[in-house]
């Protein structure tokens, strides 16, 4: 079996892969939902938009469910603390997600125009709200979350829901929403043609510009604003058993930039996020949609990777008691648990990727208004 410190790093990487996979795969479903009321001008056009993701969205939920399960199993303290501090935010995201399965299943059951418009806006809520909330959560992580532990490691959260909606976190929410909308716009342009494709290309351009401006703005705010980073100042034993109270942490202006100073190659991550988004938008407008989708996916890797590299080894910093901050080294499960999960992941993740690729290959191709009209009794 792999040693404990190695497994801790591996699971930091694997959870990152699951989050990125969720943003890429379920993200383009959400992005399409966000664009639904705007790129589809008629009922037939909106059915084209819905059918572009209708066959895949349920399968893509696997990334979301697996990511949540992995956090619960690999980082139980993170799971418990996050649901204490972000409880109402998590509930809001889940309530918004409820609109997706119901909207997909119920929208086309009646031919009433008002009925269908209502579910179109429900699908918009299900696509727009969760990425904003997830971005706001990341924005709060970068600032620190007010929580602490007692001697029995029982967590207490001292903040409120409204404190989560601070200006920097809202900016992070805008970046997240624009990133997911870009992914959906590029995918939609790849699966459609004509007027819908042109509108999706325009949406991709504006989303990319908004994402890049917000991403760069957030970085400058972190560097030159009043947001302090975190740094461990005591000796850390990577092989030690989990104990979030066994270290000393200080806050300083350079905390989130230490890793970039030590490893300059990490600057490729934000460059990938910026360049990938802008090139994806340009190529979408030029009709090279498959390459654009790859680039928009790489932009997601760059943005999420930028945040992860900046925070490492921190996972959930504490603003009220910095020494209680949760890190890769002290918030994980046992050696045995991480080892068993690693081998299970090594077996099942390739199967999920293979099946997903096969499904997309079988159901590839353009979706047109003519097809929708010829199959008026289809599920969507």
Structural domain contains residue 240? no
What's the confidence (pLDDT) of residue 210?
A: 97
What's the confidence (pLDDT) of residue 241?
A: 84
DSSP secondary structure, 124-147, as one string: HHHHHHHHHHHHHHHHHHHH-B-E
Structural domain contains residue 380? no
Tally of domains in the chain: 1
Structural domain contains residue 239? no
Over residues 286-320, the pLDDT tens digits come to 999 999 999 999 999 999 999 999 999 999 999 99
Query: CA-CA distance, 353 to 21, in Å (whole number)?
Result: 10
Determine contact, residues 56/359, Cβ cutoff 8 Å.
yes
Structural domain contains residue 379? no
Measure CA 100 to chain center: 17
Q: The whole model's pTM is what?
A: 0.93
Structural domain contains residue 279? yes
pLDDT at 379 over 70: no
Rounded to an integer, the average pLDDT of 27-47 is 92
Q: How confident is the model at residue 112 (pLDDT cuts 50, 70, 90)?
A: confident
How many C-beta neighbours within 10 Å does residue 13 have? 11
What is the residue whose two structure tokens read 């050696």?
A: 335
Over residues 264-294, the pLDDT tens digits come to 999 999 999 999 999 999 999 999 999 999 9
Query: CA-CA distance, 56 to 355, in Å (whole number)?
Result: 11
Structural domain contains residue 323? yes
pLDDT at 378 over 70: no
Rounded to an integer, the average pLDDT of 153-176 is 90
Whole-number average pLDDT of the chain: 91
74: containing domain: 4-233+245-374
Least confident of 10-14, 89-93, 154-158, 256-260: 154-158
How many C-beta neighbours within 10 Å does residue 254 have? 12
Structural domain contains residue 320? yes
Query: CA-CA distance, 325 to 339, in Å (whole number)?
Result: 24
Over residues 64-92, the pLDDT tens digits come to 888 888 898 899 999 888 887 888 888 99
Structural domain contains residue 81? yes
């Amino acid at each position: 079996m792999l040693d404990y410190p190695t497994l801790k790093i591996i699971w930091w990487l694997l959870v990152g892969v699951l989050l990125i996979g969720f943003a890429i795969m379920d993200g383009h479903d959400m992005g399409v939902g966000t664009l639904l009321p705007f790129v589809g001008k008629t009922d037939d056009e909106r059915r084209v938009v819905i059918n572009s993701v209708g066959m895949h969205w349920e399968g893509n939920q696997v990334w979301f469910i697996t990511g949540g399960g992995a956090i619960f199993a690999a980082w139980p303290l993170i799971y418990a603390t996050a649901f204490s501090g972000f409880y109402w935010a998590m509930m809001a995201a889940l309530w918004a997600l409820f609109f997706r399965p119901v909207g997909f299943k119920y929208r086309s059951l009646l031919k009433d125009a008002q009925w269908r418009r209502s579910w179109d806006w429900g699908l918009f809520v299900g696509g727009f709200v969760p990425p904003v909330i997830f971005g706001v959560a990341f924005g709060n992580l970068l600032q620190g979350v007010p929580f602490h532990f007692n001697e029995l490691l029982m967590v207490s959260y001292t903040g409120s829901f409204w404190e989560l909606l601070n200006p920097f976190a809202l900016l992070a929410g805008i970046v997240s929403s624009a990133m997911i909308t870009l992914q959906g716009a590029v995918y939609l342009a790849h699966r459609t043609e004509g007027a819908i494709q042109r509108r999706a290309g325009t949406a991709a351009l504006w989303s990319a510009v908004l994402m890049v401006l917000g991403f760069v703005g957030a970085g400058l705010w972190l560097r030159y604003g009043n947001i302090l980073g975190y740094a461990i100042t005591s000796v850390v034993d990577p092989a030690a058993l989990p104990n979030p109270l066994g270290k000393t942490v200080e806050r300083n202006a350079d905390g989130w930039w230490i890793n970039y100073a030590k490893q300059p190659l990490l600057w490729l991550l934000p460059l990938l996020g910026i360049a990938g988004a802008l090139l994806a938008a340009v190529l979408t407008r030029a009709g090279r949609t498959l390459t654009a989708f790859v680039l928009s996916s790489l932009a997601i890797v760059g943005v999420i990777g930028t945040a992860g590299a900046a925070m490492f080894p921190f996972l959930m910093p504490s603003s009220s008691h910095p020494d209680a901050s949760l890190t890769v080294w002290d918030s994980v499960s046992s050696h045995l648990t991480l080892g068993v999960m690693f081998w299970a992941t090594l077996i099942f993740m390739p199967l999920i990727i293979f099946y997903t690729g096969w499904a997309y290959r079988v159901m590839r191709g353009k979706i047109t208004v003519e097809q929708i009209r010829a199959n008026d009794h289809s599920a969507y």
